[in-house]
Structure 1
Amino acid sequence: MPKKKQIDPYVCPNCGTKAEKAQKTWQLVSPLPDSYGRITITVMGSFVCPNCGHKWKSVVSKIKAGGSSVEIEGKKGVKKIESKDSEEKANEGEVIELDLSDLDEDEEE
């Protein structure tokens, strides 16, 4: 039976009491990047309800880092940080001009 998706990870799924903080946290790193080239780092937490003693694990936050932006999805919502310098550098490029006649002369010699 699939679990219900919980909106707030700090609320006990058994009785609805809010836990102060996670007892233990750890990170899971996605081995494959998303379509923007960012790696997803998921912060998981282990909780214990102060009211009923129920134990559960839940996602505390997600961080998508890499490419030209960083996206942090947590308790307060989604915060996106973009680097302006990398966008300007990505649009600029070095122009290399090749003359095909120069290549032909080298082969003949």
Structure 2
Amino acid sequence: MARKKRDPYVCPKCGTRTEPVKTWQLVSPFPDSKGRVTITVMGSFVCPNCGYRWRAVVSKIKVGGSEVELESGKGAKASITGEKEERRGEVIEIDIDDIDEE
């Protein structure tokens, strides 16, 4: 049975729309099967009408691999695919004979 996704900005008690009071990020410790790490943005809400407090997922971002996937709290998804870019640092070569003993 699929769970119906609610709009996290709407109070579950009275239906008033509000903005989060506080947001924070949760980073998953393990990547998924495509090598992407999920960053979940959570929000703490307080209803201005009835005073009810709740927490909800504001958005999710999957980063890594060759693409980035964004998912809002409303269930909308967007995928951004980029070309792989070779990442290489500076190469430092040291000859042992050049090192002076102190």
Same fold flag (TM > 0.5):
yes
Do the aligned residues in 1 keep the contact of 2:61 with 2:68 (CA within 8 Å)? yes
- 1:15 counterpart SS class: coil
Cα deviation for residue 15 of structure 1 reads 1.0
Cα deviation for residue 36 of structure 1 reads 0.4
Instruction: Give the whole-Å Cα distance in 2 for the aligned partners of 1:7 and 1:76.
Output: 9
2:42 counterpart residue number: 44
Moved more, 73-82 or 48-57: 73-82
Structure number with the bigger relative contact order (C-alpha 8 A, sep ≥ 6) is 2
% same residue: 64
Give 5+ residue unaligned stretches, structure 1. 90-109
Do the aligned residues in 1 keep the contact of 2:5 with 2:75 (CA within 8 Å)? no
Corresponding letter in the other structure for 2:66: S
1:20-99 correspondence to structure 2 within 5 Å? 21-74=19-72, 75=74, 77-83=76-82, 85-86=83-84
- 1:34 counterpart SS class: coil
Corresponding letter in the other structure for 2:44: S
CA RMSD of aligned residues (A): 2.0
Larger Cα-atom Rg: 1
- 2:54 counterpart SS class: strand
Cα deviation for residue 22 of structure 1 reads 0.6
Give 5+ residue unaligned stretches, structure 2. 87-102
What is the CA deviation profile of residues 12-48 of structure 1, one whole-angstrom value per residue up to 9, with x for unaligned ones? 01111111x1100000000010010000000000000
TM-score normalised to structure 1 length: 0.70
Cα deviation for residue 5 of structure 1 reads 5.8
1:12 counterpart residue number: 11
Query: What is the aligned residue count?
Result: 83
TM-score normalised to structure 2 length: 0.74
Relative to total residues, which structure has the larger helix share, 1 or 2? 1
